[in-house]
Amino acid sequence: MSRPRTQAEYLARLVPPSVAGLNRRSLLAGAAGTGALLGTGLLAGCGGSDDDSGADAKTVSVGSNQSDPKPKDVIAKVMDGYKTSSGVTVNVNTVDHNTFQENINNYLQGKPDDVFMWFAGYRMRFFASKGLAGDVSDVWSKLNGYSDAFKKASTGDDGKQYFVPASYYPWAVFYRKSVWQQRGYQVPTTLDQLTTLSAQMKKDGLTPIAFADKDGWPAMGTFDILNLRINGYQFHVDLMAGKEAWTSDKVKKVFDTWAGLLPIHQPDSLGRTWQEAAQSLQQKKSGMYLLGLFVAQQFNADEQDDLDFFTFPEIDPSIGAKALDAPIDGYMMARKPKSEGAAKKLLEYVGSKDAANIVVKNDPSTLVANTGADTSGYTALQKKAAELVGSATEIAQFLDRDTRPDFASTVIIPAIQQFIKNPKDISGLLTSIENQKKSIFTE
């Protein structure tokens, strides 16, 4: 206490002996100092984590969105395989699947991992054209076992490759063999057969087609397949790219057809998750379910053999039924990896058939993209799925992977839910979509 005053002395008496040794003001100054230090510390922390930026090619980092236990384990095994073959350690940073997706913009503009997992299609081309992904064309010159469809799906707008496919899964109509055998149902190959079959199922007390759209994206699969069957693959691509008008008669026909099919779909779909819909199939309450191969997750191990599927039937004979949605997951390279050489070597490995073999051995729920892989370990369902995709003339990626994410999530999801709520006002709905599309697709 430099200047003893009565008030100061009074205050000093209030200070407990444990801190009385400290001057009151220096305490405050100290607190402010600590605050400032903490502040700068935090800020430094935000920009940090590049301490190991030296050209040490002994490690390479991978950002993974495979956060479920099973796929996470598979990724770990693949990376172990790389370590044994090359001696380079791979640091896998696993982030929750949805969180990874939602943060992707910031992630890629910040300090992304050398290699990260992502999706083929518009979502890949978007980041490639924004300069946020690295060109991996020279990796592709060393890759074997990929069909042209996969190479096309890995190519950016500028004709260079930015993506290495790892796995994919088709969308199809799933059903339980035991139920169909018991009732003598036949796989429908035309829309008429599908509606006849559905009428029979209703008579038999089944919900013909399980359906759920609480999360907004599953019904995109229905829209996609109807659009592919009615208007074909090229129209799908152009519509997704914003080149075709949503108010056109072609799109209107898709929604009209869908409106006609809604009565054979499970009602009240907007409150149901896809898991619940899949369980209605599993519990033999529904006859069919249009979903991705991952529907198998909702079935017990001893029921896997009872699960079968067929591709969505033909609607227009001149278009056929050969196109389908089969989203591809894979790897991309950051725009400025710490060591480009190390990143590309890893990409070469994950695209190789050795890596694919590890995946086949460990994960029965996806298909590997590399055709050179030894697929004798596939389940019957996997084999059939691989055949289906192999025979497809065109492979679409799924609505929200083939178009701008902002358009898919803020326009299409509410619009499709609106359609399911009120299937009558289709032209009003399409006008609304078209107006919003024009506002979003400005470039």
Partner 1 sequence: MSDLPLIQADRAVPPPAAATSKGGRGRRLRLLSRTDRVVITLMVLVPLLLVVALVWLPAAATVLLSGTDWDGIGPIGEIDWVGLKNYDDVVNIYPPFVPAVQNNLLWLAALFVVATPFGMFLAVLLDKELRGSRFYQTALYLPVVLSLALIGFVWQLIYSRDQGLLNAVLGTNTDWYGDPNVNIWAVLFAAGWRHVGYIMLLYLAGLKGVDPSLREAAAVDGASEPATFFRVVFPVMRPINIIVLVVTVIESLRAFDLVWVINKGRNGLELLSALVTSNVVGEASRIGFGSALATIMLVVSLVFITVYLTTVMREDRR
Alpha-helical segments (H) within 247-352: 249-261, 274-282, 340-350
Q: Which residue, chain included where needed, has tokens 């709520």?
A: 421
375 binds partner 1 per the rule CB under 8 A: no
* H or E segment and range at residue 346: helix 340-350
For partner 1, the closer of residues 35 and 341 by Cβ is 35
CB of 318 to partner 1, least distance (A): 35
Largest CA distance in the chain: 101
Q: Which is nearer to partner 1, 80 or 268 (CB)?
A: 268
Query: In the stretch 398-417, what mask flags binding to partner 1 with x, by CB under 8 A?
Result: -------xx--xx--xxx-x
Q: Smallest gap, in angstroms, from Cβ of residue 268 to partner 1? A: 4
Gap between the Cα atoms of 61 and 296, Å rounded:
31
**Interaction residues for partner 1, span 186-215 (CB under 8 A):** 214-215
Q: Does 1 bind partner 1 (CB under 8 A)?
A: no
- Residues 216-245 binding partner 1 (CB under 8 A) are 216
CB neighbour list of residue 155: distance below 8 Å, 6 or more residues apart = 161, 162, 163
Q: Which is nearer to partner 1, 344 or 401 (CB)?
A: 401
Determine the interface stretch with partner 1 among 22-30, 195-203, 318-326, 343-351 (rule: CB under 8 A): 22-30
Stretch (H or E) spanning 70 = helix 69-86
CA distances from 155 to 165, 277, 360 (A): 11, 35, 25
For residue 290, count other CB atoms closer than 10 A to its CB. Answer: 24
Characterize the bridge pairing of strands 307-310 and 171-176.
Answer: antiparallel
Give the one residue of 49, 91, 105, 144 binding partner 1; rule: CB under 8 A.
Answer: 105
Eight-class DSSP state of 200: H
247 is a site residue for partner 1 (CB under 8 A) = no
How is residue 39 written in tokens? 């502040």
Stretch that binds partner 1, among 164-172, 182-190, 272-280, 316-324 (CB under 8 A): 272-280
Binding of residue 28 to partner 1 (CB under 8 A): yes
Q: How far is the CB of 198 from partner 1 (least distance, A)?
A: 20
Q: How far is the CB of 115 from partner 1 (least distance, A)?
A: 20
338 binds partner 1, rule: CB under 8 A: no
| Closest CA relative to residue 189, chosen from 89, 77, 311, 370 | 311
User: How far is it, in rounded angstroms, from Cα 46 to Cα 38?
Assistant: 12
Asked if 94 and 40 count as a contact pair (C-beta separation under 8 A), the reply is no
Q: Where does this chain bind partner 1 (CB under 8 A)?
A: 3, 25, 28-29, 32, 35-36, 101-102, 104-106, 109, 123, 130, 132, 214-216, 267-272, 276, 279-280, 405-406, 409-410, 413-415, 417-418, 421, 432, 435-436, 439-440, 442
